Structure 1
């Protein structure tokens, strides 16, 4: 019997090639899209999930109460890990993490840049990073100890075994001994380091981290197996009350909270001091998109199968007359659906292989095809079964319900309920397509706004160079040489690159300040010609200048800072930062020094011409950047030969702030296209069937003088009405969803009527073109062919 059903199903597929192709194409594309998103979601959820003690690892975060605000952050005092371990018995291990960065190392004649961080000696005991050489107990137990990755060991010494005990020079300043080699960190780790240095090195090199009022590194703890996280968090809430002097004044309060380390990657956004959202929002968003696209494909199948039911009415009537019961017919039709779905799955796997490299490039992932994993095939079988049942259930129930008497008399017609249900499915799938199109338009508009808006400084032709090695003591010489080079406009230095300035302080005093209010200011140090190099707008006063000796205790402030300070005429007014008394010498127009997700914060700029850290800012003349870079590389090799010449462009660093949004933009474009493609396949199939059903009516109308235009209107108007209804439903939903998304940007484009009108025009045009192809084709058939009898 099963063999017979398969034969019948196969014959139906072969007989109705166009119908089969449309169903197969829609399901295949929908399944391939859903599988890609499933792999991405699995990858996102797997990040940091591999740590053996993951259920005991917790990140520390702070809730800061000041100036009638509540702010959350992961930056903590540098001594916190050690103190927590001493005072909270439930904490087994604790470590700080300096966040690290790229540093220069030398061993023999090899000089390379590697990425790493400073961590406590508990780090490798807490996290499940495999050690190839050395032990977790001794790897980082001295200030000159260093653990390196397999990659770094092979790069410098040839192998992990050869690296143990060797000396490697850091930033041409200090020698470290390789005491352990760890396996390269997994792709699904949020932490990806080539080296780990002992925490004492970080504390010694950055004295300010000993101040309990300074927040810089992250802190991670591991609880004992029998510890209760809730009770530990209660003990931690007011842990800093007696350690942070600012808290004692009552104007600034910090509470400590804990978050599972495995949750940090996806849940890292703060709203009023509470963790709300993060990358998890994109995981939820694209999971919904995957379900929607698969639903659209299933709707196509249901619609086309139901629409063509009249073609199979006689077959069903005869089978019922000869004794076929309804349950058997239902099994047959669901079996046919599962057969088509299975074939579509095979095609979707081929598409998956072809599309995955492009998908990885867009998402900046390294997702691999899990064909060797049993779990993947189990899930795929489940998706196949669910898709087959969803797409085949209604047609099976509908077809098996036919009355054999009506069928064999030739009076069988689709009832009103069936017709309305089929139209409802068309409306639903086009509504989803409209939502995706509208989202694509608005997301693209916001990204264009982000890239084109005036930041308050000119990010074009601006280059960042790290200050390291001999550039620290020879900065003045280097600057004098660079200024005279062709293609260079100006040079300065800055403690933080202007793309991301996050260092904040409450240690600012001025005349008239309310002693009961603690206001946080963002602060940076800069060199001479900062305003000129950045092309900032000075509203009052001036930039720092060598002509004024008193500028060493001078300050520049932005508009947001002046608003909080309250001076009416700020130039020459007293200002004190960290006990260093000075005067305001300049007021600059607000400029963006963080992403547009955040408001421009109050900023205080101090002079730090000779500070030995940060970055050089070099502005080149338009069109001469290549020439300037060549000259800079030659000079750097002369003055700073122990360090490779590296640089970044300001505009590229700025765009890195919106990596998630760029990925969402590209994926939205792709998914909107796929949704439209699948929906239009279904529309084309329905148009083909409608034209086929009305072929004799068209012939009669042509004989009676109907024009091509009237016939086109006859065949297409029904479908266009459905699309317009879909628009009426989808556009309000789109407005609500995208308005909420835009709230995540402090600076954003506005929702305008033309965005929704454009979305509507696009979907109507696509639907019209899809239907008109078949409508015109049917209208052009000669009446003699359409009217001839079977």
Structure 2
């Protein structure tokens, strides 16, 4: 019985093969576009969802007027972090973040990779799954932590722990020991692309100058500074203290880059605001711009409607061949 039904079905379809082919292609394209639009939306909607407990994490930002337009910058003077740590009691913790890059040598192989300098409390701020070793490795300036992608790419057949990577710098080669491995951050993460992490003191050593003194004490230099503030009611007071105590010294150091004021931006939703409002110099990955999310959804809906209308029209055209039968 079922076999006969299938034969009748395929014979009927074959009689109207052009209409059937048009419907299949049209509906297939419409459904495919809808799936792509959903995946695109889901990717953006879950940006930074891998980070846990971000309610009390903030970034010290600044406003600056350039060509009569106020612009937000996601960076702050390098000495500000230490000043806040010592003098602003409402701030519970401070962490500096400095992405960079460099050439590395492993045995006889030379490669270029992202290289990120952070304070030793970096893993207390942000969620990284360390699979081998632990976060205490950051306390050792001669150690680095590498992502699983680095392991798969450069250590496909062996254990990288304890191996030495040589970093080529303007001040000569520096050797680092692999002391930890962490899982790669997802693409929809502010820290996507972080592959190698080490103590920020190494960055200061690489940029030290006898003429300019200690690099980390120079208010002309910039860094991304994160703070943890458990009492949200103190945010306004912290911003006032930053402006009162550290705005003038920054503007005296950089007369070509004067700031209007500091402000604390919550980490939660930061990637969306960076894509929408344009935050300069934040050195983090932003989410997708709003048009890149909404336009595919609108296009998918329109294509789906066209496919439905087309299916209705072709169905009516096929039915018109059987008007006598329908009339009876």
Query: 1:258 Cα deviation (Å)?
Result: 0.4
- The residue number in structure 1 matching 2:49 is 49
Q: Which whole-Å CA distance do the structure 2 matches of 1:81 and 1:12 have between them?
A: 75
- The residue number in structure 2 matching 1:29 is 29
Q: Which whole-Å CA distance do the structure 2 matches of 1:163 and 1:153 have between them?
A: 10
- The residue number in structure 2 matching 1:773 is none
Query: 1:70 Cα deviation (Å)?
Result: 0.8
8 Å CA contact retained: 1:267, 1:278: no
1:141 aligns with 2:139: yes
Structure with higher Rg: it is: 1
Distance 1:7 1:62, change over 3 A: farther
3-state DSSP of counterpart to 1:139: helix
- The residue number in structure 2 matching 1:258 is 265
- The residue number in structure 1 matching 2:308 is 298
- Deviation by residue 1:387-425 (Cα, 9 ceiling, x = unmatched): xxxxxxxxxxxxxxxxxxxxxxxxxxxxxxxxxxxxxxx
8 Å CA contact retained: 2:105, 2:166: yes
* Pairing of 1:620-635 with structure 2 (within 5 A): none
* Pairing of 1:405-554 with structure 2 (within 5 A): none
Query: 1:13 Cα deviation (Å)?
Result: 4.1
Distance 1:51 1:272, change over 3 A: closer
- The residue number in structure 1 matching 2:62 is 62
- The residue number in structure 1 matching 2:211 is none
8 Å CA contact retained: 1:94, 1:219: yes
8 Å CA contact retained: 1:247, 1:254: no
8 Å CA contact retained: 1:54, 1:262: no
3-state DSSP of counterpart to 1:95: strand
**Structure 1: 5+ residue stretches without partners:** 319-790
Distance 1:248 1:79, change over 3 A: closer
3-state DSSP of counterpart to 1:244: helix
Distance 1:262 1:119, change over 3 A: farther
* Pairing of 1:673-692 with structure 2 (within 5 A): none
- The residue number in structure 1 matching 2:161 is 163
- The residue number in structure 2 matching 1:194 is 195
Q: Which whole-Å CA distance do the structure 2 matches of 1:108 and 1:89 have between them?
A: 48
- The residue number in structure 1 matching 2:225 is 219
1:281 aligns with 2:291: yes
3-state DSSP of counterpart to 2:246: coil
3-state DSSP of counterpart to 2:138: coil
Q: What's the TM-score, normalizing by structure 2?
A: 0.73
Distance 1:118 1:261, change over 3 A: farther
8 Å CA contact retained: 1:81, 1:219: yes
* Pairing of 1:11-26 with structure 2 (within 5 A): 13-26=13-26
Q: Which whole-Å CA distance do the structure 2 matches of 1:7 and 1:52 have between them?
A: 57
* Pairing of 1:714-753 with structure 2 (within 5 A): none
Distance 1:57 1:303, change over 3 A: farther
* Pairing of 1:645-656 with structure 2 (within 5 A): none
Q: Which whole-Å CA distance do the structure 1 matches of 2:132 and 2:322 have between them?
A: 71
Query: 1:115 Cα deviation (Å)?
Result: 1.8
Root mean square deviation, CA, Å: 3.9
Larger relative strand fraction: 2
1:112 aligns with 2:114: no
Q: Which whole-Å CA distance do the structure 2 matches of 1:6 and 1:294 have between them?
A: 28
Query: 1:196 Cα deviation (Å)?
Result: 0.7
3-state DSSP of counterpart to 1:184: coil
Query: 1:27 Cα deviation (Å)?
Result: 0.9
- Deviation by residue 1:342-387 (Cα, 9 ceiling, x = unmatched): xxxxxxxxxxxxxxxxxxxxxxxxxxxxxxxxxxxxxxxxxxxxxx
**Structure 2: 5+ residue stretches without partners:** 208-213, 281-285
Query: 1:26 Cα deviation (Å)?
Result: 1.0
1:243 aligns with 2:246: yes
Query: 1:277 Cα deviation (Å)?
Result: 9.4
- Deviation by residue 1:268-327 (Cα, 9 ceiling, x = unmatched): 354699xx9962321122222222222221221233334555556665565xxxxxxxxx
- Deviation by residue 1:170-200 (Cα, 9 ceiling, x = unmatched): 2244333433222333344342122112112
Query: 1:129 Cα deviation (Å)?
Result: 1.9
8 Å CA contact retained: 2:72, 2:278: yes
Number of residues of Structure 1 aligned to a counterpart in Structure 2: 304
Q: Which whole-Å CA distance do the structure 2 matches of 1:255 and 1:208 have between them?
A: 22
- The residue number in structure 2 matching 1:131 is 130
Q: What's the TM-score, normalizing by structure 1?
A: 0.34
3-state DSSP of counterpart to 1:237: helix
Distance 1:216 1:8, change over 3 A: farther
Distance 1:156 1:35, change over 3 A: closer
Q: Which whole-Å CA distance do the structure 2 matches of 1:215 and 1:37 have between them?
A: 42
- The residue number in structure 2 matching 1:727 is none
8 Å CA contact retained: 2:90, 2:238: no
8 Å CA contact retained: 1:241, 1:248: no
Q: Which whole-Å CA distance do the structure 2 matches of 1:312 and 1:55 have between them?
A: 66
- Deviation by residue 1:129-187 (Cα, 9 ceiling, x = unmatched): 22122222x12124333222234456369644x523x5543224433343322233334
